[in-house]
Amino acid sequence: MRSIRFACLLAAALALPAAAGAVDWKAAGKTYGGNDVFVDLDGVRVGGDVRTAWVRVDYARPVELPNGSARSIQALAHFDCRKGASAGIRVIFYADATTGRVLLVSEEETVRMSPDPDGSFGKLAGQAICAR
């Protein structure tokens, strides 16, 4: 039954519009590493204790990838508000937040909720998303 619930949530999440420049990003805070975190509060989908939303992180220091330096990511993630945990579904690494040049797209085959440590982008995004 639990796997059916997650499959339904995943299907609903994939129906969300892809992350785009037209999103009205709301600041959620700054990680312990100095990365700025933003959430798309208008696009949040709710299913019980779990919310699904897009998150953007602008890195203070670029993350090196095989095909370039990523300065920003957008991630579609589930947030379990009761447990304070999250699971990434899809992560898109960008050369920067404005040009839209994609460096890497990663999609998870299995949804695995993990606790979000203090100061992480998952914790900051989850707090902003679950406060609604």
Give me the residue spans of the domains in the chain: 2-130
pLDDT, residue 21, reads 52
CA-CA distance, 6 to 92, in Å (whole number)?
21
3-state secondary structure of 13: helix
Only one residue has tokens 């406060």, namely 131
Q: To 10 degrees, the CA torsion angle through 81, 129, 79, 69?
A: -150
Contact status, residue 126 vs residue 113, Cβ threshold 8 Å: no
For residue 40, CA distances in Å to 19, 66, 108, 121 come to 9, 29, 20, 14
- pTM confidence score: 0.81
- List, for residues 28-87, the tens digit of each pLDDT value: 999 999 999 999 999 999 998 899 999 999 999 999 999 999 999 999 999 999 999 999
Q: Could you name the CATH architecture of 2-130?
A: Beta Barrel (2.40)
- List, for residues 93-113, the tens digit of each pLDDT value: 999 878 889 999 999 989 899
pLDDT, residue 65, reads 95
pLDDT, residue 116, reads 94
Secondary structure (DSSP) of 90-115: EEEEESSTTT--EEEEEE-SS---EE
